[in-house]
Amino acid sequence: MNLHRSDAYNNICIAGLGGVGGYFGGMIALNITSNYKDKRNIVFIARGAHLEAIQRKGLIIKPFDGEPITCIPNVATQKITDLNLINLLIVAVKGYDLQQMMISLKEKISSDTVIIPLLNGVGNEEKIRKIITKGIVLPTCVYISSRIEEPGVIKMMGNIARIVLGPDPLNPEYDSSEIISFFKNMGIKIDWAENPQVAIWQKYMFVAPASLITAANNITMNGIVQNEDFKQDFCAVMAEIRKIAEKRNIFLPENAEADSIKIAEKIDKDAKTSFQLDIEKKKAKTEIDSFGYAIIKMGKEVSVDTPATEKLLLRIKI
């Protein structure tokens, strides 16, 4: 654990404390509030039983290996109106909650606020910019396997926890060394990419078809590559995503599809996608827009047909 003091980002907000926000927010809180010399403030925005548990006993992270860690924020709340101006905002809500969360936080953001969206999908920075005109929005993707095990508890499903981010096109003068140093001091793995869209779309190439296929067929992620028909569907959706990316001048590595298949082969045999779990629980809101309808919409915008995606969407029962 690294407890070095930094003057950067003295008022930090983690909006969304699911598997992603819970882990990264927890690591930041662990490093800040456990050091009495560190006067920075970290706020968790959560809701329901999860919030109540965090308020009672802190946020507990169960590493893939090792003993549970208790992380205590300065404040855990759902009352955004009580917040001060935010220096660093990490947004880790589901895609369907992004718009409302950004609207509610709009008055807490200044021209110096750094906003990091840790969401699935593509174009999240563009969605934020439709609401927030101030601040620095860094295009980002995250690699992590974690979930809420029970209220107040985040369970890691693997050892991978890494953030890839890059420059805000509207703020090219922003000094990236500040945010890179911040995350490293928090013990968080970080990669700075001058063209982060390649990493964002390469992750999307795996997550979107994996989510659709697991939900449509009630199988695990590893199950995709154990059945030839499912594997063909996986490859077909990946091909559609590659064509859309290329039409948008985003050129993915030649081995992106092969890498996605390797991930599915090596992943825990019981691992399910978060979208699949939401479908199983018959949740009123899911990420079907981010993983399915977005592909169809983007395909129409650049004249790319998306029959494989459309076929899977017809099988998913909301």
Helices marked H in 130-270 — which ranges? Answer: 176-185, 196-217, 221-224, 228-247, 256-266
| Environment class of 148 (CB within 10 Å of its CB; exposed 0-12, middle 13-18, buried 19+) | middle
Mean predicted confidence (pLDDT) in 199-219: 96
On the question of pLDDT at 317 being above 90, the answer is: no
Average pLDDT, the chain: 93
The confidence band for 8, taking pLDDT boundaries of 50, 70 and 90, is low
Q: For residue 315, what pLDDT is reported?
A: 94
pLDDT tens column, 167-192: 999 999 999 999 999 999 999 999 99
Strands (E), the chain: 11-15, 41-45, 59-62, 69-71, 75-77, 86-91, 109-117, 136-137, 140-150, 153-165, 189-192
Q: For residue 270, what pLDDT is reported?
A: 83
Mean predicted confidence (pLDDT) in 78-95: 94
Least Cα distance to 233 among 200, 263, 268, 208 occurs for 208
Q: Position 244: which residue type?
A: I
7-11, 256-260, 263-267 — which is least confidently predicted? 7-11
The percent of residues in the chain predicted with pLDDT above 90, rounded, is 85
Mean predicted confidence (pLDDT) in 153-172: 93
The confidence band for 267, taking pLDDT boundaries of 50, 70 and 90, is confident
More reliable by pLDDT, 1 or 283: 283
Length of the chain: 318
The pTM for the full model equals 0.92
Q: For residue 82, what pLDDT is reported?
A: 82
Specify the pairing of strand 153-165 against strand 140-150. antiparallel
Helix (H, G, I), strand (E, B) or coil at 46: coil
Q: Within 13 Å, how many C-alpha atoms sit on residue 178's CB side?
A: 15
Q: For residue 266, what pLDDT is reported?
A: 83
Helix (H, G, I), strand (E, B) or coil at 8: coil
Domains and CATH numbers, the chain: 11-194 (3.40.50.720), 198-315 (1.10.1040.10)
Q: Tell me which H or E stretch contains 194.
A: none
Q: Looking at the DSSP assignment, which residues form a beta bridge with residue 153?
A: 60, 150
Work out the angle at residue 114's Cα, subtended by the Cα atoms of residues 246 and 175, and round it to the nearest 5 degrees.
80
